[in-house]
Every structure is written in structure tokens, then in C-alpha cells.
Amino acid sequence: MPIALLETLDAYLDSAPRSSSTVERIGPFSLFIGTGPWSYYARPAPGLGADVDRADLAAVIARQRELAQAETFEWVCELAPGLADLARAAGLQVRMLPLMALTSPPPRMQLAGLYARILEADDTRLPAAVAAVDVGFACPGTALGPEGCGARDRQIASIGGRIAVTRDLIRKGDALLVAVEAPCGPVAAGSALPRGPVAELTGIATLPAWRRRGIGALVAAALASSVCERGARIAVLSASDDTVARIYARAGFTRVGTIGEASGASCEFVDELASENQASQGRRTEGVVGLH
């Protein structure tokens, strides 16, 4: 895979969460601490993925626990080749996701009776679009299911403050949202986070009752077209598995690498490393005492 492209995407992935988080640097890691309704993760700072070691990972996990933050990590595997093994050794559950990019204009896509629309910040359909995404992610995979527009409407009451935050991000130009509409309203939606020449497509989901119609590809193509019109040269996304990756391939995306995700460290790992550090400090102290 072209390393220069992966480095460009890695720099973008480091910058994208910063509008909704504060950042703490812990060794080679940047720990993103959410300031809104979304939680974030730690990831190696650009150019430092190869420098991660066991102690660095434990230091981040300890800080995440101190903050009562989920123990989650994200990285570009080709740029941090040893991190997956370190994460597994720490008891983390590791997933490998296809990293996909689009560097040319996406194909124009249309589906009968369905319309892809960019929603402005004050659009009254925005809560229903966000709720459709919630319902879609609550039913992972690509299988058909009974959850349709009724389930979406019931979900709206549970969204809470995310709508206000989403409207603010759209107003500031930090995000845009595309919804695919049927006569019953939004049945799928997704977001894009443009930052200079790169934009990530994220949170794409379809109501289970409306799956298997090409709607996911339509959302991806509409988002990619929108960010290209706004000056982005590269659209990037991570697919949850190879089946979903094939959906995005219909919108012109190709695989360029692999995203690693890890979560849920074991308590034993951090406790073991703390004991090792204490023992190491004791040995150093004994050595100093012996010199007198």
C-alpha cells in the first residue's frame, strides 16, 4: 500500500477528533477526551506508531481508568505494526477493519423512490436521520430486520443533547450529514468530517427494514460527492467487515490499508506492569544505596 497516502490519512485521523475533544499526550500516544456526547480513544501520534511499547500502552490504560473513560485504541496497522500484538497481550479485544479511500469523483447513483439530501443545521428532519443511524447500529450487520420507520420515530426521544451538538458542528463546517429519504422520512444517513484535503465518512447506517437495496452505497456516494464539491481530494472510511466493504466498493472506494481497534484491557495487565515498575525502582534504589 502507498505509505504516503496512509501517512496523509493518519494525520487526518489525528486531527479529526480535536474539534470535539481535548488531547493528552502520553508517550507516543494521543489520548482524546471527549468534550461532548461522544467518547473517543487513544491512538499513536503521527510518525510514532513504530515507537509504541508495553509500558506506553499500560500508561494510557491507567489514565483512561483514572478518567473513567473506555479503554479503547485506534491505529493504522501498517504504520504501527506491533500494536496489535501488544494490545492482545494486554487482554484487549482487537478488531481489524478495512480502511478504504476514494481519490476520484464518485459514481452518480440513484435509487427509485429514494432521495439523498444534505441536511442543513436547522433541518427539521435531522433528529429522524440521527435516530435512523442509531437504530441501524443497534442492529449490526447487513441482514434485513423488522425495524423500520416506527422504530426510528421511537428512538428520537432517546437522542438527547446529540442533536444540538450535531447542529453546531454542521453550522461550523466541521461536519455534514446526508440522509436518504423515503415517503416515511429518513431511512438511512451518514456523516462526513471534512478537514482540509481529507474527509472521513462515518456513522453510515440503514434501518434494517430498508436494507439490501443499495442504500448504504448511495449514502457513501452522496457524502463523497458533497465533500469533493467542498474541496476535499480524498474521502476515507473504515468498513466494519469485508461484506460492508463490498457495499462501499460500489460507491468507488478501494481498500488502501487496515484500521486496528482495541478495547477492554485486563486488570491483571496494568497491575502486573505496576508491580514490575515498583520492583525496577527498588532495584535502582538498592544500587544507589550500595554506592555510599
Per domain, the residue ranges of the chain are: 3-99+261-290, 115-251
**Secondary structure element (H or E) that encloses residue 192, with its range:** strand 185-195
The residues near 214 (Cβ < 8 Å, ≥ 6 apart) are 109, 111, 250
Assigned C-alpha cell, 183? 415517503
Where do the DSSP E strands lie in 41-144? 42-44, 72-76, 93-102, 115-119
The per-residue pLDDT for 19 is 87
Distance between CA 112 and CA 154 in Å, rounded? 27
Nearest Cα to Cα of residue 255 among 77, 101, 76, 80: 101
The yes/no answer on whether domain 115-251 falls in CATH 3.40.50.1400 is no
Assigned C-alpha cell, 248? 462501499
The residues near 210 (Cβ < 8 Å, ≥ 6 apart) are 148, 182, 187, 188
The per-residue pLDDT for 266 is 63
Using DSSP bridges, classify how beta strands 198-206 and 176-182 pair: parallel, antiparallel or unpaired: unpaired
Distance of CA 206 to the CA centre of its chain: 17
With b meaning 16 or more CB within 10 Å and e meaning fewer, what string describes 77-110? bbbbeebbebbeebbbebeebbbbbbeeebeebe
Instruction: Walk along the chain (292 residues) and give the pLDDT tens digit of each residue.
Output: 589 999 999 999 999 999 889 999 999 999 999 998 888 999 999 999 999 999 999 999 999 999 999 999 999 999 999 999 999 999 999 999 999 999 988 999 999 999 999 999 999 999 999 999 999 999 999 999 999 999 999 999 999 889 999 999 999 999 999 999 999 999 999 999 999 999 999 999 999 999 999 999 999 999 999 999 999 999 999 999 999 999 999 999 999 999 999 998 666 666 666 565 555 444 444 444 444 3
The per-residue pLDDT for 161 is 86
The per-residue pLDDT for 64 is 95
- Position of cell 510514532? 48
| Most distant pair of Cα atoms in the chain: their distance | 86
